[in-house]
């Protein structure tokens, strides 16, 4: 089984101001290059990489930005990916709008019209857009001569033929993952006045044999409910409910603390707690994914994905209580953590769309059913 992971490594804190200034200027110029390509792609209706490799267009971007040929092509690839993503989102939005107009749902139509996807760089380019560096313009290398770090990146600068070496500050987990797999590419990302390198690592994992199937239904009030099918008769031990009381306790405590600090206007303390709740929630979601992976050892895991449940429960639809329950339900992140943990152990995971599953008969797959109570379905 092939596993692809992206590792986020910070740039070393001992990096000089000159090198950080070079990175700042380079990332700003690359963002300008991506924005220039985006305008050309929209004007010339470019949709394939063969159309993108037009020499006249590349020469025009090169003259505008002063970038080398390799940097210009990587900026073009990023801009083309952004346009493809926009078109895919716009097609999905158009389908939803047609369905809403056909049903005559005026409130939902107004909401959808406000949520129309925007073209790339419609609102300007205030944030820097990272690109993927290939072997022509950047390399990640292991070094034995520098005591401060084991890994550095060498990237091409805006001056012709000049490269700069940037020290990285990898943790033990990062080093183990980089040594384990093949390094495919990397990005330089600036976030909150700090630089990070996102490295794409690809490695092989031995696929484990499957002895059964475990179904997982993620919940709002409880983490999940599971059922194990292994060819034997179902017993009470085949069903399991996982609770998240500890996570809820920690988040409620932090919410009360933030509320008290806001009341007394302790802004310095609030700044230190700015991302605390998010990190705590991620920590407990990761622990839940590890626990579920241990329980489903040797099984194919089928996870229900409540796609679009937050998107459809907009403000003003008359379901205020449901929206309050969904506010802290990070089902997308939980599913991603489950897939990552199981992929590292060579276990397969199947994400299943939950729509209509509560009204579909398990035996004949008919949707002409009626739910008698919470656990009984009449077909």
Query: Pairing state of beta strands 163-167 and 151-156?
Result: antiparallel
Contact 178, 124 (CB under 8 A): no
Query: What is d(CA 253, CA 17) in angstroms, rounded to the nearest whole number?
Result: 40
pLDDT of residue 262: 94
Question: Pick the residue with more confidence: 187 or 147?
Answer: 187
Q: What is the largest CA-CA distance in the chain?
A: 73
Rounded to the nearest integer, the mean pLDDT of the chain is: 91
339 pLDDT tier (thresholds 50, 70, 90): very high
Q: Is the pLDDT assigned to residue 188 strictly greater than 90? A: yes
Contact 67, 33 (CB under 8 A): yes
pLDDT of residue 1: 85
Q: Is the pLDDT assigned to residue 184 strictly greater than 80? A: yes
Give pLDDT tens digits for 137-164. Answer: 999 999 988 888 999 999 999 998 899 9
Torsion sign (Cα): 249, 312, 309, 221: positive
Name the pTM for this structure: 0.86
DSSP-derived 3-state class of residue 346: coil
Mean pLDDT across the stretch 166-175? 94
- Say which residues have a Cβ less than 8 Å from residue 350's Cβ, sequence separation at least 6: 300, 301, 302, 303
How many beta carbons lie within 10 A of that of residue 248, not counting itself?
13
368 pLDDT tier (thresholds 50, 70, 90): confident
Structure tokens at 157: 């600068």
CATH 3.30.70 fits 212-378, yes or no: no
Query: What is d(CA 286, CA 280) in angstroms, rounded to the nearest whole number?
Result: 10
98 pLDDT tier (thresholds 50, 70, 90): very high
Chain region(s) in the chain for CATH 3.30.420: 212-378
Q: Is the pLDDT assigned to residue 267 strictly greater than 80? A: yes
- Say which residues have a Cβ less than 8 Å from residue 199's Cβ, sequence separation at least 6: 6, 7, 9, 140, 178, 183, 185, 186
Place of tokens 């590890």: 290
pLDDT of residue 85: 96
Mean pLDDT across the stretch 306-324? 85
């Amino acid at each position: 089984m092939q596993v692809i992971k992206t590792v986020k490594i910070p740039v070393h804190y001992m990096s000089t101001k000159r090198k950080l200034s070079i990175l700042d200027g380079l990332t700003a110029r690359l963002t300008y290059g991506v924005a220039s390509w985006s305008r050309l792609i929209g004007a010339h209706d470019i949709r394939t990489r063969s159309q993108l490799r037009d020499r006249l267009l590349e020469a025009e971007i090169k003259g505008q930005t002063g970038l080398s040929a390799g940097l210009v092509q990587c900026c073009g690839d990023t801009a083309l990916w952004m346009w493809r993503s926009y078109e895919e989102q716009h097609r999905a939005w158009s389908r939803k709008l047609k369905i809403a107009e056909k049903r005559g749902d005026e409130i939902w139509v107004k909401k959808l019209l406000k949520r129309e996807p925007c073209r790339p760089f419609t609102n300007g380019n205030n944030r820097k857009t990272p690109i993927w560096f290939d072997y022509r313009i950047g390399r990640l290398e292991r070094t034995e001569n520098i005591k401060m770090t084991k890994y550095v990146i060498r990237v091409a600068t805006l001056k012709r033929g000049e490269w700069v070496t940037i020290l990285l500050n990898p943790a033990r987990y990062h080093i183990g993952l980089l040594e384990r797999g093949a390094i495919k590419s990397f990005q330089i990302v600036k976030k909150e006045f700090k630089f990070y390198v996102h490295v794409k690592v690809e490695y092989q994992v031995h696929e484990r044999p499957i002895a059964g199937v475990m179904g997982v239904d993620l919940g709002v009030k409880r983490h999940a409910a599971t059922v194990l099918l292994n060819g034997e008769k179902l017993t009470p031990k085949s069903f399991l409910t996982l609770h998240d009381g500890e996570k809820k306790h920690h988040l409620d405590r932090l919410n009360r603390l933030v509320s008290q600090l806001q009341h007394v206007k302790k802004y310095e303390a609030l700044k230190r707690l700015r991302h605390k709740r998010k990190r705590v929630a991620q920590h407990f979601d990761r622990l839940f994914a590890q626990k579920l992976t241990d329980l489903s050892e040797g099984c194919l895991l089928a996870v229900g994905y409540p796609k679009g449940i937050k998107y459809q429960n907009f403000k003003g639809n008359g379901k205020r209580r449901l929206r309050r329950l969904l506010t802290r339900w990070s089902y997308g992140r939980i599913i991603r953590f489950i897939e990552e943990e199981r992929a590292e152990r060579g276990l397969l995971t199947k994400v299943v769309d939950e729509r209509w599953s509560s009204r579909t008969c398990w035996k004949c797959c008919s949707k002409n059913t009626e739910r008698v109570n919470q656990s009984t379905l009449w077909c």
